[in-house]
Amino acid sequence: EDKVVQSPLSLVVHEGDTVTLNCSYEVTNFRSLLWYKQEKKAPTFLFMLTSSGIEKKSGRLSSILDKKELFSILNITATQTGDSAVYLCAVEAPSGGGADGLTFGKGTHLIIQP
Amino acid sequence: DAGITQSPRHKVTETGTPVTLRCHQTENHRYMYWYRQDPGHGLRLIHYSYGVKDTDKGEVSDGYSVSRSKTEDFLLTLESATSSQTSVYFCATRGADPGEQYFGPGTRLTVT
């Protein structure tokens, strides 16, 4: 059974801090790892990672994948209150026809205090 | 925004009644998915579709059925709703190339 584990489950920091969110996985037939941000509505896409060691970056957010150790991290620098959200990690690991859905972790609930 | 709408957005129903949720997309995406999201469980896959009339079960498919008669519509049916099916239901789509899934706005279903 495919498994995705995120840590920590919740995190409270002050504005301006840097945070690192963790995601480890155990799946067969790994294809990609995705990060989403969810703010009381639908998840919105952040990054998709398929290759080890290549950092994806978007503004203050960055992410990297380690396929040998089976984990990914999401970094957010100079946090702002608008970064408060649940961050979801998901893995795509199709078993047959290639259309299987994503396996999600339970998410990290990040709260940025002013 | 991948042009995904869900209806209804909110629904309250009684145990034992049938319920159908609709997902409509305008992107001509081949793949469509239904997830449910519950506290402590995160998002879990119910059913998915890889083309018109082609569907398969996900992790938590018991008590649910789906149909896809057109590319743009994917229906999720609860034949006889139970309180354990109270949840937020998200539809998602993906194009032919492997990549990110785009999520609809969600339907909050309460079974009393």
User: Residues B23-66: pLDDT tens digits?
Assistant: 999 999 999 999 999 988 889 999 999 999 999 999 899 999 99
What pLDDT was estimated at residue A96?
59
- Supply B111's token pair: 């079974």
> Mean pLDDT throughout A80-99?
86
What pLDDT was estimated at residue A97?
54
β-pairing verdict for A108-113 and A85-92: antiparallel
C-alpha count within 13 angstroms, C-beta hemisphere, residue A105? 30
Is residue A75 pLDDT above 70, yes or no? Answer: yes
Residue A96's contacts (CB-CB under 8 Å, 6 or more residues apart) are none
What pLDDT was estimated at residue B95?
79
Closest partner residue to A42 (CB to CB) among B41, B99, B106 is B106
Strand ranges (E), chain B: 4-7, 10-13, 19-25, 31-38, 42-51, 54-57, 64-70, 73-78, 87-94, 102-103, 107-111
Closest partner residue to B104 (CB to CB) among A31, A42, A98 is A42
Determine the residue among A10, A104, A108 to mutate to test chain B binding: the one whose Cβ has the most chain B Cβ atoms within 10 Å.
A104
B chain contacts of residue A34, beta-carbon cutoff 8 Å: 100-101
β-pairing verdict for B87-94 and B102-103: antiparallel
A chain contacts of residue B98, beta-carbon cutoff 8 Å: 31-32, 92, 98
Is residue B68 pLDDT above 80, yes or no? Answer: yes
Is residue B2 pLDDT above 80, yes or no? Answer: no
Q: Are the Cβ atoms of B31 and A34 closer than 8 angstroms?
A: no
